[in-house]
Amino acid sequence: MSKKFLFILAVINLSHGHLVDSLVPSSIAKTNEHFIETLITHPIISSTSFVSSNAFAAAVNLVTKVPLAVSRAIGPIRLSSRISKTNNIDVVDKLISDFNAGKDNEDAIMSIDAIIVKYGYPVERYEVITEDGYALTLFRIPGAGPAVFLMHGLLGSADDYIVAGPDSGLAYLLANQGYDVWMGNARGCKHSRRHVKLKPSNASFWDFSWHEIGIYDLPAMIDFVLRKRNVATLRYIGHSQGTTAFFVMASEKPEYNAKISGMVALSPVAFMSKVNSPIVRLLSPGTSLLHEFSRHLGVYEFLPDNAIMNALKLLICGTGPLVIILCSNIIFIIAGFDFGQLNITNLPVVFGHLPAGASIKQFAHYGQGLISEDFRKFDYGGEENIVRYGVKVAPSYDLEKVVAPVYLFYSEADWLAHPSDVEQLRKKLRNVVDTYKIPYDQFNHVDFVFAKDVKKLVYRKVLKVISTF
């Protein structure tokens, strides 16, 4: 058996076995229940799936370690009413042919800079070295107007801002308005897998979470842009982890607030207590153990094992013909998706650019937030916390220190930024200009990047807001 497979098995055993059970029994129970609940209400399961009850039960068992008899009892009974409603062959055929129509799109295999040039924009590329030695790539579509800095989410990269295509990609829309568009790339993503000493094959390379992205990567990239333009401030737009890291930076290095004339938070993630993503929930109870294990086995990059991926695909997406398409990407398994806003023809392009890489510790850190119901620094466990922080419990980020103007964009169906978690964040921040709820109920986490109507539903408003900063 491969090291990686053993590692995944160990994690799952620890996360859901008695070891963790004795530490956080109620959160595990809550997580399993929530997991099953999410599955049976998932749009793919309910409309286009044909899961056999035994296969479903076996997959629940593999992923959650509930006894097979229990998963059999939960699975088939509650799923059957939905399966009987499925008669969507025509719809499925249409979607598959839409997907195939996009397969030859060369944007799927072109690099981000080549795509930007193809659509008639200039592009520049820079390298920035962080204080702790990571070499980050910055992409720029130069413009004479104010500088706007875009920061991607977990498993994303600068590519996130162009995959929606020249009519909808946020980088293009900003460039069309004359802005000087800068796109960051966090350490560990495909454009920033270099370090002055460490190679990505060395586990130490992956020893970071979004805390380090917030305290090292963002300041280095922001200072670079300000120096290059010889200005004092820029506008910041972040999606998902691009907002988390911003809040880390602005609270840990408060002098950076003065360098931000305004910040737009798309799907802001700081408090995680209501997260719906089954994967984040599943990983959450054992995440510090998960981190421990990855350290022992030297596995730091987030590369889920095929056996687990296949079980998750089956659980989250079912076995219908569409699954091959929709659930072939980890992003959808983690963040969910929304049929109504999915441009199936554009999926080959999305799949060509995402996921872009991340460390296990980034997931682990998010998972900790789910259990602590707080926005805290990484929990290394009591003893190491005392060494690192001087206290036993990992300290909370001091959001009172975030004084740059912030505009929060959120949506009802977001699996990772639940409206009540966003509300909790709003209450803690000192300078929230306003909040904007996307006027479309099914809008999900990744819709902020490549939904069919992302321009109409989100970016028009973003452009308006950014012009006031």
Task: Provide the binding-site residues for ligand NAG, judged by CB under 6 A.
Answer: 102, 105, 165, 197-198, 202, 204, 343, 345-346, 349, 452
Is 445 considered catalytic here? yes
The DSSP string of 142-179 is --SS-EEEEE--TT--GGGGTTT-TTT-HHHHHHHTT-
Half-sphere exposure of 350 (CA within 13 A, CB side): 24
Please name the amino acid found at residue 159.
D
Sequence-ordered list of residues with C-beta below 8 angstroms from that of 222, at least 6 positions apart, any chain: 149, 234, 236, 256, 259, 260
The DSSP string of 427-466 is HH-S-EEEEEE-S-TT--TTHHHH-TTHIIIIIHHHHHHH
Tell me which of 15, 240, 267, 411 is the catalytic residue: 240
3-class DSSP string for 217-232: HHHHHHHHHHHHHCCC
Sequence-ordered list of residues with C-beta below 8 angstroms from that of 93, at least 6 positions apart, any chain: none
Q: Are 206 and 199 in contact (CB under 8 A)?
A: no
Is 372 considered catalytic here? no
Sequence-ordered list of residues with C-beta below 8 angstroms from that of 289, at least 6 positions apart, any chain: 11, 14, 15, 19, 20
* DSSP state at residue 214: I
Least distance (Å) between residue 445 CB and ligand NAG: 19
| Closer CB to ligand NAG, 343 or 411, in the complex | 343
* DSSP state at residue 216: I
User: What's phi and psi for 436, nearest 5 deg?
Assistant: -135, 120
| Closer CB to ligand NAG, 204 or 420, in the complex | 204
| Closer CB to ligand NAG, 113 or 207, in the complex | 207
**Coil/strand/helix, residue 394:** coil
CA distance 257 to 233: 9
| Closer CB to ligand NAG, 135 or 198, in the complex | 198
| Closer CB to ligand NAG, 99 or 469, in the complex | 99
Q: Are 311 and 305 in contact (CB under 8 A)?
A: no
Q: Is 419 left (phi over 0), alpha (psi -120 to 50) or beta?
A: alpha
CA distance 137 to 183: 9
Residues 438, 370, 281, 151: is their CA dihedral positive or negative?
positive
Least distance (Å) between residue 102 CB and ligand NAG: 5
CA distance 98 to 65: 38
Chain residue at closest Cβ approach to ligand NAG: 346
| Closer CB to ligand NAG, 167 or 383, in the complex | 167
| Closer CB to ligand NAG, 204 or 431, in the complex | 204
Tell me which of 152, 211, 353, 445 is the catalytic residue: 445
Strand 180-183 and strand 234-239: the pairing is unpaired
CA distance 333 to 440: 21
| Closer CB to ligand NAG, 454 or 465, in the complex | 454
In angstroms, the Cα distances linking 257 to 219, 252, 253, 254, 424 are: 11, 10, 8, 6, 21
In angstroms, the Cα distances linking 342 to 15, 95, 437 are: 33, 10, 19
| Closer CB to ligand NAG, 345 or 442, in the complex | 345
Least distance (Å) between residue 413 CB and ligand NAG: 20
The residues annotated with a catalytic role in the active site are 240, 445
